[in-house]
Chain A
Amino acid sequence: MTDCDKILEMMPWYVTGKLDAKDTAALAAHIQTCDACRQELAEVVWVRHAVSSEKRDLPTVRQRVWRKVMSRAGFRDMAHVDIGSMLVGFRLGVNARRPNSPVRASLHVMGRNVRIVGKERREGCETTDEKK
C-alpha cells in the first residue's frame, strides 16, 4: 500500500474530525506535497457536504412515534387532552389503572417534552416509591 493509499483511507475521518492527532498531522503534511491527494480531499469534503447538508429537526415524526411507543410499552392513557400546535403545546393524560400517579401532564416545545406532573413506570416493574 502506497502512502497515497493510506492517506486516501484516512480522508473521511480527517474531514469529520475523527482522526487522531498523529494521523491528522501525517495527512496534513502529505497533502502539502501531493496534488493528487489534495484533489481527492476536495472531493471527500464535497461528498461529505452533500450527504450531511440536510440535518433538520423532525418534531412531528418524533411526537407521533413516541405516542405509539408509549402505547405499546404499556403506558396507555385512558383519556388525554392535547392543546397547542406542532411547535408548542400541552398534554394532559389520565390513566385509571395507576392509582398512585394517574395524572400526567407535559409541555412540549419544538418536539421536546417537559414533564410537569406525574411519574410513570414500566408495566410489571416496581418503582422505588412502590417498593417503599
Chain B
Amino acid sequence: MRTDEALLWAVGQADRAAFEELYDRHADRVYRFALSLVRNGHLAEEVLQETMLAVWKQAGKFRGASKATTWILGITRNQAHGLLRREKKGERLPDDPPDEPDPAETVEIDVRVKQALESLSPEHQEALHLVFYEDMSLADAATVLGVPEGTVKSRLFYARKALAKELL
C-alpha cells in the first residue's frame, strides 16, 4: 500500500487514481475536522470539497516538511476559516441547495457531549479534536493550528477542564 506522502506526490503528477485513493483515506477525517470548526454539516461538506480541490491543485507543492495528514488538515483549517470569514461578511455566493440530510449519516454524538463541546471556544474545540480525535502528536497539532506547542498544551488543558466541568 502506498503511503499518503507517495500518493500526494502522484497527485502532484496528475494521477487521478492516486487522488481517488487519497480522497477515500482522508475525506471522513477532513469532514469531521471541518464539522468541529464550522459546526454545520452543509458548510463542512463545502469545506471538504474546497480542501480536496486545493489538494488536487497544490499537491505538487507538497515538499514533505510535514506529514500528509498534517498538511491536509492545515488546508482544511484555512478553508474553514476562509469560509467562515466570507459568511460573516456576506460575500459567499449561494451554493447548490443542500441535499436532503440522510439520517443514516447524521453525526450522532451524545447530546450532552455535543452541547458541552459546542460551548467551548473554537480554539479549544480544534485542539481537542486534533489531539483526542485524530490522536495527533503535539508537534503535528501545533503545525496544523499554526501556534507554538506550549499554546496547544494550554488550550488542551483548559478545554478538557471546561469539558470535564460540564460533563462530570
A→B interface (CB under 8 Å): 8-9, 12-13, 16-18, 43-44, 46-48, 50-62, 64-66, 68-69, 72-73, 75, 86, 111-113, 115, 119-122, 125, 127
Does the CB pair B16–A61 fall under 8 Å? no
A-B contact pairs, 8 of them (CB 8 A): A16-B135, A46-B164, A47-B164, A54-B109, A55-B133, A60-B104, A65-B45, A112-B24
Q: Chain B at the A interface: mostly helix, strand, loop or mixed?
A: helix
Check if A65 sits within 8 Å of B107, measured CB to CB: no
Contacts of A125 in B (CB 8 A): 14
Indicate whether B117 reaches chain A with its CB closer than 8 angstroms.
yes
Shortest distance between the CB of A25 and any CB in chain B (Å) = 18
Contacts of B23 in A (CB 8 A): 62, 66, 69
Instruction: Report whether A65 and B27 are in contact in the complex, using a CB–CB cutoff of 8 Å.
Output: yes
Pair B48/A61 contact, Cβ less than 8 Å: yes
Name B19-50 residues within 8 Å CB distance of A: 20, 23-24, 27-28, 31, 45, 48-49
